[in-house]
Structure 1
Amino acid sequence: MQQEKISRRERKKLQTKKTISEMSLKLFYKKGLNETTVAEIMEEVDLGTGTFYNYFDSKEAILKYCLAERITSAQQTIEDIRTSSFNAAQKISQMLQVVGKTYEENQPLIGLYMNFYRNNENVDRKAPHGLRFKEVLSSIILEGQDNNELRRDIPPDIINEMFSGILQSTMCSNLELPFMENIQYKLSMLLEGVIKK
């Protein structure tokens, strides 16, 4: 019986944290991060201002939390791809599509996050997802080289950099092209070449 109460309380705490974070994002998108106050956030969720600090250290911590949540969801899909029976090229292609789709769906949040960290010198700039994307990509590349699916004469770090570059260039692209279509063209060009055979 006691275990059930703790479980219910934990679920309620998680729900409150989610409610605060989602309402915060709505206000950040509408007014801006710096212009939104903790009091406004807590008024919208109908809780006392002091309660905010039971869940978050700062407004900026909300950005990190929300982004980490979305990345964690994508990471589970990436782990599933890594352990699947697809060949290396298919795994890399699917992985980039998952990361690209996550980026595309969360552009406003990522924009807020990047803007805050660009404009603040005295903050921890460590990304909420760490190096996991690069680690998984590296393991797929090494597996592909071991299975003769990818060229062995090219260092794995170069291959990793090329695929990571696809994401970076698409995120910075000014082309009038849908985000995922842009990624698809670049993937096709890298995997199949640009010269007509």
Structure 2
Amino acid sequence: MLQELSRRERKKIQTKKTIAGIALKLFFSKGLNETTVAEIMEKAALGTGTFYNYFESKEAILKYCLAERIESAKQTCEDIKTSSLNATLKLSQMLQAVGKTHEENQLLISLYMKFYHNPDKGDKKAPHGEWFKEILSTIIIEGQVKNEFRKDIPPEIIIEMFSGILQSTMSSKLEFSFIANINYKHSLLLEGVIKRNDGEV
């Protein structure tokens, strides 16, 4: 019976993923408002009423899909945090992981912001949350303990700067890819903007 229940739950999860995947393709090609629940479910070969067993609205699909992407990025960052890399490489790889998540899901994030972001507020939320700052904090402190990072700078300042890199890259209008943009800023943060001669300390 437990095995049967588990199989049933797996089928429900797969059905939810199928509905979400079909819906996203339609949202991207036609637009969210122009896509109907009936159309989504017809392509999923399921009854229209079944939709509401999984999602309360079309907009809820955006939340679900973005949450899945963020959870995947979070797991990648957790793996980086616990790896044997030094703190500098961990920071670099974390920015790459979160940056890649954003770059690969720009259409989804754009739709999400359109339907969930309040235009009266000036804040745009990055595709990460407190978990990003928590992992970042752990790595920064590790780097200071191991003398990789300066100890005269409070960890909070370094965390804010790295978070700012992501935030500014998200809102950038420059004609660079997201990853290229974030890599330039990361390099500037670590190495500075002043050109140094070979051998200069």
TM-score with structure 2 setting the length: 0.88
Kindly provide the CA deviation profile for residues 30-80 of structure 1, in whole angstroms up to 9, marking residues without a partner as x: 222222222221122121111111111111211111011111111111011
Partner in structure 1 of residue 103 of structure 2: 104
Partner in structure 1 of residue 8 of structure 2: 9
Contact 1:103–1:110 at 8 Å: present in 2 too? Answer: yes
Partner in structure 2 of residue 27 of structure 1: 26
Kindly provide the CA deviation profile for residues 131-152 of structure 1, in whole angstroms up to 9, marking residues without a partner as x: 1111111111122122221112
Contact 2:126–2:170 at 8 Å: present in 1 too? Answer: no
Partner in structure 1 of residue 165 of structure 2: 166
Measure the CA separation in 2 of the matches of 1:119 and 1:59.
18
Partner in structure 2 of residue 117 of structure 1: 116
Q: Which moved more, 1:16-25 or 1:146-155?
A: 146-155
TM-score with structure 1 setting the length: 0.90
Measure the CA separation in 2 of the matches of 1:96 and 1:161.
13
Q: Does 1:49 align with 2:64?
A: no
Report the Cα offset of residue 103 of structure 1: 0.5
Structure 1 segments unaligned to the other structure (5+ residues) = none
Amino acid at match of 1:57: E
Aligned CA RMSD, in angstroms, stands at 2.0
Indicate the percent of aligned positions where both proteins have the same amino acid.
Answer: 72
Measure the CA separation in 1 of the matches of 2:43 and 2:119.
27
Contact 2:136–2:159 at 8 Å: present in 1 too? Answer: yes
Contact 1:88–1:144 at 8 Å: present in 2 too? Answer: yes
Measure the CA separation in 2 of the matches of 1:139 and 1:61.
33
Kindly provide the CA deviation profile for residues 144-185 of structure 1, in whole angstroms up to 9, marking residues without a partner as x: 122221112222121111111111222222222222111111
Structure 2 segments unaligned to the other structure (5+ residues) = 197-201
Give the ranges of 4+ consecutive aligned residues of structure 1 lying more than 3 Å apart after TM superposition.
125-130
Report the Cα offset of residue 4 of structure 1: 2.9
Measure the CA separation in 2 of the matches of 1:158 and 1:27.
43
Amino acid at match of 2:110: G
Amino acid at match of 1:194: V
SS in 1 for 2:113: helix
Measure the CA separation in 2 of the matches of 1:49 and 1:127.
34
Measure the CA separation in 2 of the matches of 1:57 and 1:50.
11
Q: How many residues align?
A: 193
